[in-house]
Structure 1
């Protein structure tokens, strides 16, 4: 009898755990795919897509402390300067707050001439009317 109760408890634990993880895994995948769409739009210099991907009121804080709004950030992407959105992150973790809100935390290295610089960054993403948008991002330069 104890074994049966133990097995039922384990089964219920796995059932509730898998039920709880399924929506988060789906949202994590959506956010990673959304970031890839941003990266592709940056590479293609696709202003129209970037305008959709970044929310009104969006802000980005550069490693220098400079803060850009949506227009300045998109202009920066289109200027062909190295940016963390140009390359796949070395490390990324998605924190799902609810079905429409997630935070991505990652690390990306870029070459500036022959100098490698590594950035730790954070992005906050909100799903509105079925589509994800970036609402705020921040990058910090790590000491190599």
Structure 2
């Protein structure tokens, strides 16, 4: 999952507004810090901070990919190391066990399927059959 870089609608809008304000007066100063100079400075600082942010995201994505690849390589080497110990000492050796391998003796993977308990026969009783005798009365058959 890569992190998305971003733009700024506020910077885009401010850039257009700056052009319109400059059409009034290149050195417009409305007092109380409302000047073309202050506005331009804030637009530039915001744009620079946004660019730095996007650069950091790009570097972070590169770093994430590097770590992922290194993890994969390390996992593969770990498996190869354990396999090497198994090749040299055997899978049932103490050395293999010390290296983190699990012995096949007594492991769950080698156990046979557990025996299914025998079914206990329950005595069954035959239901008494009843039928009508033709006159609407019940009689036992």
**Shared fold, TM over 0.5:** no
TM-score computed with the length of structure 1 as normaliser = 0.30
Higher Cα Rg: structure 1 or 2?
Answer: 2
The structure with the largest helix share of the pair is 2
The structure with the largest strand share of the pair is 1
Report which structure shows greater RCO (CA 8 Å, sep ≥6).
1
